[in-house]
Chains A and B, each alone.
Chain A
Amino acid sequence: MQDFRYLSGVSTLKLDPDACTGCGLCTVVCPHGVMALENNGEGGGKGKKAKIVDLDGCMECGACANNCPTDAVQVTPGVGCATYIIQSWIYGKEAATCGVNCC
């Protein structure tokens, strides 16, 4: 979403190019076009690999990591909800909730 940008350089998204098989699933499920398949030059036209093309567009939803067949993408998914974060500071991550009415 190019017209909505949030803080830069904070996403926990990581990609391990060696583990990537180039299946392209991460590019399909990402709602922000963060990943793209690129030809990495190896093996003629076949050697496709995922690449992070817009790290700051990532909202850490975890869809890519959840669907990557080889665990090549990793991200710490979480809830970007203020109530949840405050609770996690006070009570710890396990006990935190958004409150009944959230989402």
Chain B
Amino acid sequence: MLEPKNECSDTPGCDCHAGKEMLPMAPAGTGETAEVACRGGALGKRADPMERPGYVLRSFVEAFVRTPAGPVPRVRTTLDRSDRMGVLAARLGFGRNDYRVAPGLYCVGNPTPDSPVLVTANYKLTFDALRRALANTSAWILVADTRGINVWCAAGDALFSSEEVSRRAASSRLADVVNHRRLVLPQLAATGVSAKAVKKGCGFSVVWGPVRVEDIEPFLSAGMNTEPAMRRVTFSLKERLVLVPVEITLLWKGLLIGLAAIFLISGIGSHIFSLSMAWSRGGMAAAAGLAGIVAGTVLTPALLPWIPSRPFAVKGLILGALAWAILALLFQGKAGGLEMTALLLFTIAVSSYLAVNFTGSTPFTSPSGVEKEMRIAIPFQAAATLLAIVAWVGAGFIG
């Protein structure tokens, strides 16, 4: 087997002709001073020697390392502005469906044929988190094509699979690049990847790495040994809050339909339909809906471990009732008893439903459990909504 050469051989025809260790990327600001753009102003950067027609050079690549399997991009272990903007956009729910990196082999630091191979998903946020956690490491990174989905969800959907890992190891010619036959996989990929099948598929044996990227460097320096804590999933306040914006952005469509329905229903009364009633009562009902949304999608995740009761439907109901109590104080004198009852039912139906919805984002709720509680909760939530509408319209006629 050929040893990967980190040094340029400077043979004619070699596309590497300047760098000593790495294939060159254009040094910043190498434009000749005599060059002046016709339209005035500064010239753009010179084309990078590694640019190829039809390909885009990603900003996280800092150089290319020569290997027997061809040049391998060496990636930065810091995030730049565009990376951070991407994180923000993805967290807020924009463009989440196409935020990926090209699958294949990458590296960090100055890896040798003996350096470890870390396998990851091609969701860019996952990839970014990994390279950021490798500031003091030299390693190869094998990115599997998980269709731009993170490790955990891709493994659950059989996208991060034994076949994909084997295929990617083969197509990247990993066996020509490293001396050993070991892949480090994130533990959470075990749902989709079987160590035995990977061994059979590409000859590499799987070492299960830690759950969290922050633990990778300690794991590697401990000779690929994990502490029990590295094997356990956590769900800290920060991990929970990060999910909130996406939960909310997923609601937009339902929210618009809901608002339209609220104003329509609120206007119905003894005058058949009154715009002023739609406005004043609709505002109250919309506030109740909003209270339910805040209780279900923000407060439930934030306060999760401290809310009594295990079913999420009940957790949502408790917080919904609390949110309603605040509204009741605000609406004192404006809404009657029947109206306040309708608002209570509406708020808890919304918050309870959204709280159950949040189970999809938690790393500890079993599908059997979610299905069980939904069988009981959904009829109640539907009944509460229906009763709320009846009471609300009824109050419109009375008032």
Contacts and interface: CB of A to CB of B under 8 A. Distances in A.
B366 A11 contact: yes
B195 A7 contact: no
Nearest to A60: B366
- How big is chain B's contact interface, by range? 35 or more
Contacts of A59: 363-366
Contact of A5 (B157, B250, B310, B371): B310
Given A5-B310, A60-B366, A100 B156 contact: no
Nearest to B250: A101
A62 B191 contact: yes
A99 B249 CA distance: 13
Contacts of B190: 29, 63, 66-67
B359 A80 contact: yes
Given A31-B188, A85-B371, A67 B196 contact: yes
B156 A85 contact: no
Nearest to A13: B366
Contact of B368 (A12, A33, A63): A12
A61 B374 contact: no
B234 interface: yes
B196 to A, nearest CB: 6
B356 interface: yes
Contacts of A99: 250
Contact of A81 (B191, B235, B246, B360): B360
A31 B187 contact: yes
B192 A103 contact: no
B257 to A, nearest CB: 16
A85 B367 contact: yes
Interface in B155-174: 155-157
A32 B369 contact: no
B228 interface: yes
Contacts of A102: 153, 250, 360
Nearest to B206: A67
18 contacts: A4-B304, A6-B310, A6-B365, A6-B369, A10-B372, A12-B368, A29-B187, A30-B231, A32-B233, A33-B228, A63-B155, A77-B367, A80-B366, A80-B367, A85-B367, A103-B149, A103-B150, A103-B156
Interface of A: 1, 3-8, 10-12, 25, 28-33, 57-63, 66-67, 69, 76-86, 98-103
